[in-house]
Structure 1
């Protein structure tokens, strides 16, 4: 006859197995039972407690998450980093962002001070909850190193899940793709189908940025198949977002908007912690489809999300969306400029490029082709540097339209400059400093200095004042 402790260990093993490869609601039920049965064994009970929280999170079940966290925090044996982690999570779920920051940052600091892979994975999760994607990358990478040293495929699969997602949040899509491919192989080797679904979803999102579109469909379809069977809302959200982004870049904004409206409206659709990431794409798609009402309806939730600091790009994305929905051009232009500045502060090449693209597109459609070209060239440069080929192609199309709308000819004296040198010359003539130009073009100040010296030699001039005289106001970059 089984004792209570034996039943607890049986349910713990079943719950962990289901969390790896099975319905996560079933995993949560088994792990919750295991936690109650293992009350006399604090170590095993803690494992069951933390796993139950993770299972509820994977399901995107806000009520179950709160229940699991509240129950866990009632355990007397829970202390140190695990208590800080759960305390911070619970505060976030209740909307108390300021209360969450201290405990979660302690978890990150403690994890990075050691080499325990489980503590590092907890630290990576805590960092991502607070929007600290760089520490999320660091903690995840160290957990991955420990997993590789131990030759543990299951741990490699879990660690790369955090690293790939953190790299994705940081806008480093190529690195996210490489980690997701590594994690996918490890997940398949260790029979972690749920982890594999997450990696497929990340691969769909990286393909939505870098192409090809066929990879988006393949990875998204695979992720959705497993996620649908096992109740995983994180992969569902990421996969549907990837499909919508592809529809958007392919010129099908109405399809993208319809997809995301359906996702966000469903009780079992978007994960509660990921909704904010999807909303800017919804606004862009809705505006592109001419449905400003849907875009405006998304703004209040997007504004709340941007204030939580769960993503460093939040403020810039909110400004971008407000600009898209403006009815007056002066206000839209001012908001876009604020968004560009916010992107510079937050980092993240891809989202900054999208904002340049949307700004340039709007300028071009409202009779300002010269200004549009400047913004579109900024976007194209960033897309090309980030390997975002589908988005670069879309930008080239917009740029050709702006050029056809009345691009100003280049004065003969400037025809010997390369396109990059010409852009720098125009910005200098518009009064920008070398540092401002470097930030705008995402290059170093030293690179701008070098180009400017070469420009002076080619034009036979010695000063910025002489350069401004060589670049007529009609060809100079507008002060932006």
Structure 2
């Protein structure tokens, strides 16, 4: 189709029509066509400065969703400057997107400078017209979010909460997807994960009800992340997979890479090494050329968590240390503290000589800010891991008491596991089994199959005979389900399975749905990956990447 379709002969009309065609192409996921149309619109706009500025804004938005984010950041700053003299709303949209691009790139200085930048200047350097006083935070959410995030970056969470409160209050009386998305993100950075999940769920529902597809993948990204933080891994996976499909439809490869990274984190807990590596590689294939430091940090963190779950502590520490310590390979500033517990645990379990007390002290400063309700208990667990022998017991018990006051079943189960391992190594098997059984229940509830296996191994070592049964993924299935799963994993169709086992196709379908539910898989491919990994472990291997 010719890019100049539906255009008029006059220059102004032609530029306007080209611009509208570019907007349609962008919303339809046709990134390259949209960029070409915008170039044509700018070349024919003449001295129509407002149209040229809007075209530059659209180009920046396209680059931010499917291009190098550093380029997107600069393009959007120029658009904000051009729009500031006559279009405050457009300038704010450009600055909001520029800030997002700086965040994705992990450029802390650029992010803070963008947050502090006014919405453009007029030609004579006077401030542009401001929004009317009393503007509702739901109608203009970026203002409140920008003020709050500035204080988050400056680590003043009390002031950030004050700045973000109008946005959270306005969310109660709006059904605007953008406002609900900003409110959900505000709750997320303030550590109220339950509120974040509610608000982001409402944002998703509102977008669907209004037929607004543009922000869907972005909403799903933050919703999946909130569920991951809360320990609801099955829900996180479902929403990340949905978000990945939405990003593909809309041509938003950068957001798609974020969903791949989230899925790598989910699968790192399940023990499906092939799926973890598949999603990590897919994320990095976009993150590296487009400069998405947040995505690449999450992908490497997922690999390290898989290593830690498999007991490959030294390998996990080797992956994480460059991401968290100062240096050219340091990861995204927004993820440093979240990954510290993994680094400390991996270093201690590997018996490395490296001193991690500096990381524990840094994490203590973070926990004291009150931004993460789970941080206090995790800090106490880290202190137990690094404390003198005589202090460990008390610290572990304190950490467990602190977990009771905060949500987060996965981290609670990790502390139970760590305490149980410590008790077993001190020849206190009865107490160890009590903690390990509780850890097993926690990991089962949140679907962390890999950590279940590790806990069962510790239980067997602690003398729990029940844990000596078949604890592989196949051990969850009945004999008939195992036969069905084996045939499906080998590539057989439902009808072929029915013929082999003398069952009806309907019965096979019923078995398969139960198998998917019990193993936490969503497709025949994932079932094959999980079962092939299970067989590898039974032969004495550690999975595909061992």
Give me the TM-score of the superposition, normalised by structure 2: 0.71
1:252 aligned residue (308, 312, 318): 312
**Structure 2 partner of 1:230:** 290
Q: Offset of 1:343 from its aligned partner?
A: 1.1
SS at match of 1:345: coil
Ranges in structure 2 where 5+ consecutive residues have no aligned partner: 1-45, 120-126, 468-546
Q: Offset of 1:158 from its aligned partner?
A: 1.3
Q: Offset of 1:291 from its aligned partner?
A: 2.2
Q: Separation in 1 of the partners of 2:434 and 2:462?
A: 10
- The answer as to whether partners of 1:356 and 1:379 remain within 8 angstroms in 2 is yes
1:381 matched to 2:441 = yes
1:57 matched to 2:110 = no
1:22 aligned residue (47, 60, 67): 67
1:263 matched to 2:323 = yes
**Structure 2 partner of 1:6:** 51
1:32 matched to 2:65 = no
- The answer as to whether partners of 1:283 and 1:294 remain within 8 angstroms in 2 is no
- The answer as to whether partners of 1:108 and 1:135 remain within 8 angstroms in 2 is no
2:341 aligned residue (267, 273, 280): 280
Q: Separation in 2 of the partners of 1:105 and 1:240?
A: 34
Q: Separation in 2 of the partners of 1:364 and 1:211?
A: 24
- Pairing 1:124-139 to 2, within 5 Å after superposition: 124-139=184-199
- The answer as to whether partners of 2:136 and 2:170 remain within 8 angstroms in 1 is no
1:149 matched to 2:209 = yes
2:363 aligned residue (302, 310, 325): 302
1:71 aligned residue (88, 95, 117): 117
Ranges in structure 1 where 5+ consecutive residues have no aligned partner: 408-480
- The answer as to whether partners of 1:112 and 1:123 remain within 8 angstroms in 2 is no
Deviations 1:416-437 (A, max 9, x none): xxxxxxxxxxxxxxxxxxxxxx
2:462 aligned residue (399, 402, 409): 402
- Pairing 1:43-192 to 2, within 5 Å after superposition: 43-72=89-118, 77=130, 80-81=136-137, 82-192=142-252
SS at match of 1:293: coil
Q: Separation in 2 of the partners of 1:306 and 1:21?
A: 35
- The answer as to whether partners of 1:233 and 1:269 remain within 8 angstroms in 2 is no
Q: Offset of 1:346 from its aligned partner?
A: 0.6
SS at match of 1:393: helix
Q: Offset of 1:260 from its aligned partner?
A: 0.3
1:291 matched to 2:337 = no
Q: Offset of 1:152 from its aligned partner?
A: 3.7
CA RMSD of superposed structures (Å): 1.9
Q: Separation in 1 of the partners of 2:312 and 2:244?
A: 30
**Structure 2 partner of 1:415:** none
**Structure 2 partner of 1:392:** 452
Deviations 1:148-200 (A, max 9, x none): 22334432111101111111111111111000011000000000001101111
Deviations 1:277-311 (A, max 9, x none): 10000001000111263422311221122122222
- The answer as to whether partners of 1:200 and 1:219 remain within 8 angstroms in 2 is yes
1:312 matched to 2:358 = no
Q: Quick one: structure 1 residues 76 and 326, their matched pair in 2 at CA, closer, same or farther if it must change by over 3 Å?
A: farther
SS at match of 1:403: coil
**Structure 1 partner of 2:301:** 241
Q: Separation in 2 of the partners of 1:385 and 1:332?
A: 27
Q: Separation in 2 of the partners of 1:76 and 1:398?
A: 65
SS at match of 1:273: coil
Q: How many residues align?
A: 405
Q: Offset of 1:212 from its aligned partner?
A: 1.4
- The answer as to whether partners of 1:233 and 1:271 remain within 8 angstroms in 2 is yes
- The answer as to whether partners of 1:176 and 1:206 remain within 8 angstroms in 2 is yes
- The answer as to whether partners of 2:323 and 2:336 remain within 8 angstroms in 1 is no
- The answer as to whether partners of 2:157 and 2:371 remain within 8 angstroms in 1 is no
Q: Separation in 2 of the partners of 1:162 and 1:311?
A: 16
Residues 139-148 or 355-364, more deviating: 139-148
